[in-house]
Amino acid sequence: MASDGQAPIEAPVLPLSKYSKRVLLKMILGRSDGGLGLMGQKVVVGGWVKSSREFRMAPEVVEPKESCLETKLTFFQSILIVFIGEHRGRDKLDAILPKPPQRSISILQVGDGSCASNLQVIVESYLAPPSEVMPTGTCILAEGLLQKPSLQGKGTIELKAEKILHIGLVEMDSYPLSKKSLPLELLRDSAHFRPRTTTVASVMRIRSALTQAIHAFFQENGFFHVQVPIITTTDCEGLGKNFQVTTLLDEEKLEDQTIVEDVRLENIKASIKEKSEKVEELKRSPSNKEALAAAIQDLKKASDLVSHLEAKQKAKSGKSAKVDFSEDFFSCKTYLTASGRLHLESFASALGNVYSFGPRFNATKSNSKKLLAEMWILDLEMAFSQLEDSMECASDFLKFICKWMLENCEEDLKFVAKRIDKLVVHRLRLIATDSFEKISYTEAVEVLKQITERKFEKEVQWGSPFGEEHESYLTDEIYKKPLIIYNHPKELAPFYVHLNDDGKTAAAFDVIVPKVGSLIRGGQNEERLNILSTRIEELGLEKQQYEWYLDLRRHGAVRSSGFSFFFDPLILYATGLNDARDAVPFPRSFGKANN
């Protein structure tokens, strides 16, 4: 009982991580008091060392006890002083007597990935040598008491270790994450380690929260989640830029591999340009000499490989590869899907409103920093809906997920605002609270043609797609808000989009936001069998691929609409990053696929 008769206030019980029997750091550091209310509690925490320093303590002075040994040492000291002098005698005695070992304390900043903050952990040398626990990247599991920081350091609370339960040592010579911060460009070459950096970890937590928000929106609005195939026989966008899936790429079944090597050579040449730019950028930052040396070595290896492949090609006769796809695994040509909308439409014709979220693939040889060869895309289809319904759903969806981020990612948003871009919160609020401007494609062309103070690299003409410079100017300079552009020329829309009565435009729309451009592309689907068949023929598509899709018009056709949401560019918008390769766990882009 307390002295005033009241019961003492007990410290809250910290919940354990269910499957690892430890306390997550966010349960300590994520409290409003920074963890001060947990002082005195014994906990087990685990994580990886982000930084460290050593504090050396003065040797303890131990008062000798009266003993037989003391009597003998005093007698021996007296003899030494008599024979060799007082000063030399004391020196000889100091050399004979054992010296107490010097104690030290390892001060570790440990993170476990559950939050952006690190916990200061104090490990005395008698528990573990500093050489084992201090290297960056070391994994440590420790039990101890939470207390106020006993030494200068970050944070309002620290853990004084009483037991070390596990140490995962680091091979310093080969571990890529040194104490010096590496540029994001170089971290791409170590995709399996870069989540241990605070920046990438924050981005991935934001990415995880966005995934939750996506499912929450559609579950709350009565959509069914459907898994669409990744391998398909259909060119879903009608663009022909697809990755082909085959099991025939071995020497026994291919007469020649010249085509394969041509593609490889072209990809490596493209990567050389990127590596050269990286070297030039690092040369302008002489402080990071280690990174520059590594980049130069990487560039040399790529150049040597190109020389080897070119010499190998010259020695070959240049025969074309001949492949009989009837012998392939699926007995026909198959591709990695570029969109899930066609397959989703068959389920919308039965279930009503459906969505799918997963990887989509595009083999366009692009160096765009916003689009990758493998992207995560949300596709949805709604039965009994038209263009206006799809545009309304798109704006409601973006508002919902941006509001979700503001409410559930506060700490990580603060971190990326401080480390990357201070405007991230402002941009999210712009979508969450502001109205969306709607204009037709024709109106957008007229607006851009009236611009005289800005010279665009590509001239604006009706019938041409808008480039990033045009989209950026419309959203950043003119409207200063999210923008929906609808009724695009039919030549710019996918073949399955509803043809408008003017015969020139299709019921397609794009949602464009500041910084990243297009986030959503969608429209109303063509429900008329004769017009859809004509569009397939006009574009020279293989009609046999789409017979199953045409069947949806032959049997119980329904007016429907939908859209595709590009997940990775929104991560750029929400974090301030400029390259999608830094916003995905394992990037795949033209010329490069690490890990």
Place of tokens 């981020």: 405
Give the least confident one: 310-314, 348-352, 474-478, 584-588: 310-314
Q: Identify the band that residue 251 occupies on the pLDDT scale cut at 50, 70 and 90.
A: very low
Burial 204-219 (b: 16+ CB within 10 A, else e): bbbbebbeebbeebbe
What would the mean pLDDT of 224-237 be, rounded to a whole number? 90
Report the pLDDT value the prediction gives residue 279, as an integer from 0 to 100.
Answer: 76
Which tokens in the block code for residue 472?
């950026």
Contact 2, 8 (CB under 8 A): yes
Of 236, 186, 106, which Cα lies nearest the Cα of 496? 236
- The pLDDT tens digits for 102-157 are 789 999 999 999 999 999 999 999 999 999 999 999 999 999 999 998 876 567 89
Rounded (10°) angle between helices 410-419 and 387-408: 90
β-partners of residue 49 are 110
Report the pLDDT value the prediction gives residue 166, as an integer from 0 to 100.
Answer: 96
Report the pLDDT value the prediction gives residue 325, as an integer from 0 to 100.
Answer: 81
H or E stretch at 101 = none
Which tokens in the block code for residue 39?
């002082």
Q: What is the DSSP letter of 497?
A: B
β-partners of residue 564 are 379, 521
Contact 191, 176 (CB under 8 A): no
Which tokens in the block code for residue 168?
């995962």
Report the pLDDT value the prediction gives residue 470, as an integer from 0 to 100.
Answer: 93
- The pLDDT tens digits for 15-38 are 888 888 899 999 999 998 888 899
Residue 47 — φ and ψ, nearest 5°?
Answer: 175, -165
Helix (H, G, I), strand (E, B) or coil at 359: strand
Q: What is the DSSP letter of 457?
A: S
Report the pLDDT value the prediction gives residue 86, as an integer from 0 to 100.
Answer: 57
| Half-sphere CA count of 26, side-chain side, radius 13 A | 12
- Burial of 74: CB neighbours in 10 Å, binned 0-12, 13-18, 19+: exposed
Q: What is the DSSP letter of 340?
A: S
Of 299, 283, 341, which Cα lies nearest the Cα of 525? 341
Of 550, 158, 210, 548, which Cα lies nearest the Cα of 404? 210
H or E stretch at 566 = strand 560-566
Contact 436, 511 (CB under 8 A): yes
What ranges make up the beta strands (E) of 227-311? 231-232, 244-245
- Helix/strand/coil (H, E, C) string of 156-220? CCEEEEEEEEEEECCCCCCCCCCCCCCCHHHHHHHCCCHHHCHHHHHHHHHHHHHHHHHHHHHHH
Report the pLDDT value the prediction gives residue 259, as an integer from 0 to 100.
Answer: 47
| Alpha-carbon gap, residue 324 to 307, rounded angstroms | 32
421: Cβ contacts below 8 Å, ≥ 6 apart: 575, 576, 577
Which tokens in the block code for residue 99?
């010296």
- Burial of 522: CB neighbours in 10 Å, binned 0-12, 13-18, 19+: buried
29: Cβ contacts below 8 Å, ≥ 6 apart: 35, 115, 117, 119, 155, 157
Contact 405, 206 (CB under 8 A): yes
Of 476, 391, 400, 394, which Cα lies nearest the Cα of 433? 400
| Share of residues in the chain with pLDDT > 90 (%) | 55
| Alpha-carbon gap, residue 85 to 198, rounded angstroms | 62
What would the mean pLDDT of 340-349 be, rounded to a whole number? 95
Q: Identify the band that residue 409 occupies on the pLDDT scale cut at 50, 70 and 90.
A: very high
Among the residues of 286-351, which ranges form H helices?
289-314, 341-351
Averaged confidence pLDDT in the chain: 85
H or E stretch at 528 = none
- Burial of 59: CB neighbours in 10 Å, binned 0-12, 13-18, 19+: exposed
What would the mean pLDDT of 231-256 be, rounded to a whole number? 73
β-partners of residue 378 are 357, 565
Of 359, 351, 397, which Cα lies nearest the Cα of 375? 359
Q: Identify the band that residue 322 occupies on the pLDDT scale cut at 50, 70 and 90.
A: low
Which tokens in the block code for residue 218?
């559609």
What would the mean pLDDT of 412-425 be, rounded to a whole number? 94
Residue 148 — φ and ψ, nearest 5°?
Answer: -65, 150
| Share of residues in the chain with pLDDT > 70 (%) | 84
Residue 587 — φ and ψ, nearest 5°?
Answer: -70, 140
Burial 236-273 (b: 16+ CB within 10 A, else e): bbbbeebeebbeeeeeeebeeebeeeeeebebbeebbe
What would the mean pLDDT of 219-238 be, rounded to a whole number? 91
Report the pLDDT value the prediction gives residue 74, as an integer from 0 to 100.
Answer: 57
Q: Phi/psi class of residue 238: alpha, beta or left (left: φ > 0; alpha: ψ in -120 to 50)?
A: left
Of 415, 369, 201, which Cα lies nearest the Cα of 274? 369
- The pLDDT tens digits for 159-218 are 999 999 999 999 988 888 876 778 888 888 888 899 999 999 999 999 999 999 999 999
